[in-house]
Structure 1
Amino acid sequence: MSFRYLRSMVCAQACGLLLVLSFHAHAAGADEGAHTKAAVLAVEGHWLRAEGTGDVAWLAQMLSPAYRSVGADGRVHDRHAIVEGARKNQGSDRAMREIDAYLKTHPTDTRVLLDGDLAIVSFYDPAPAPERLRSSDVFVYRDGGWHAIYSQHSAMK
């Protein structure tokens, strides 16, 4: 999203899209530390808000030190780039307003695959088949919480 220089200016739209449903899961009060699908979605929602509001402390602890995000254009962004991109949103509601506007006009469904300490959250176009994947985030459960290790974004027209 987006909405979300949230993951980067290049990944901005793709990122916001990815976190649409997770935003609602967090709002519902899911425990982010639980080893559940709902917790992974809650972390996704928190991630969206952290980027949109510039919560760099939370982002720095949630993103794995080796985190990588690959944008739809093939460009790679590391953890540092994501955190610094979010820092630009501190003290402003502009990014969150852009995220909200994007989400309203780009419906997205989500799917969570939980396999042991690994979770993959995929965001896709809810239109009829064939399914069109917009992006995926990969998480690992460590030290009592979910940490993002990789994201991949697709171009959607």
Structure 2
Amino acid sequence: MDAELDGDSAWLDAMLLPEYRSVGADGTVLKKAALLAHAARNRGNDTERRQVEAWLKAHPSGQAVVIRDDTAILTFYDPKLGPQSGVRSADVFVYENGRWHALYSQHSRAGG
């Protein structure tokens, strides 16, 4: 998230796999190229960062991770609802060439 908000497209490009997809709570699919373009627009501008930080302050999240072999699933959830009922997002990472790379993100409106 920091790389996207700071406009660090080079870091994001290395971390996101070519097949990366992010599915929003409304079902909209965002591909890697769109995320890189969004990050570039944030470079030198902290408007979105301030908005995200305000949202995060108003909506604290718990985190959980499951790692199995070369795959990790990171979930962010509403602490009031717990990880079984209040998952806000889940990210799938794959370990390749000595680094973790993002493959897929899914977002929801749980606890939002």
TM-score, normalization by structure 2: 0.92
- Partner residue of 1:54? 7
**One-letter identity of the residue aligned with 1:84:** A
- Structure 1's unaligned 5+ residue stretches are 1-47
- Partner residue of 2:23? 70
- Partner residue of 2:108? 154
More strand by share: 2
Structure 1 outlier segments of 4+, above 3 Å: none
- Partner residue of 1:82? 35
- Say which SS state the counterpart of residue 69 (structure 1) adopts: strand
Percent identity at matched positions?
49
- Structure 2's unaligned 5+ residue stretches are none
**One-letter identity of the residue aligned with 1:139:** F
- Partner residue of 1:132? 86
**Shift, 1:128, TM fit:** 4.4
- Say which SS state the counterpart of residue 42 (structure 2) adopts: coil
Q: Deviations over 1:94-117 (max 9, x none)?
A: 222222111111010010001011
**Shift, 1:131, TM fit:** 2.4
More helix by share: 1
- Partner residue of 2:49? 96
Distance 1:58 1:128 in 2: 33
**One-letter identity of the residue aligned with 1:150:** Y
TM-score, normalization by structure 1: 0.67
Residues 4-23 of structure 1 aligned to structure 2 (within 5 Å)? none
- Partner residue of 1:37? none
Q: Deviations over 1:65-110 (max 9, x none)?
A: 0001111111111100111111110111222222211111101001
* Number of residue pairs matched by the alignment: 110
Contact 1:112 1:120 in 2 (8 A): yes
Q: CA RMSD in A?
A: 1.3
Contact 1:53 1:95 in 2 (8 A): no
Distance 1:147 1:136 in 2: 14
**Shift, 1:155, TM fit:** 1.7
CA spacing shift, 1:88–1:132, aligned 2, 3 Å: same
Q: Select 1:120's aligned residue among 73, 85, 97.
A: 73
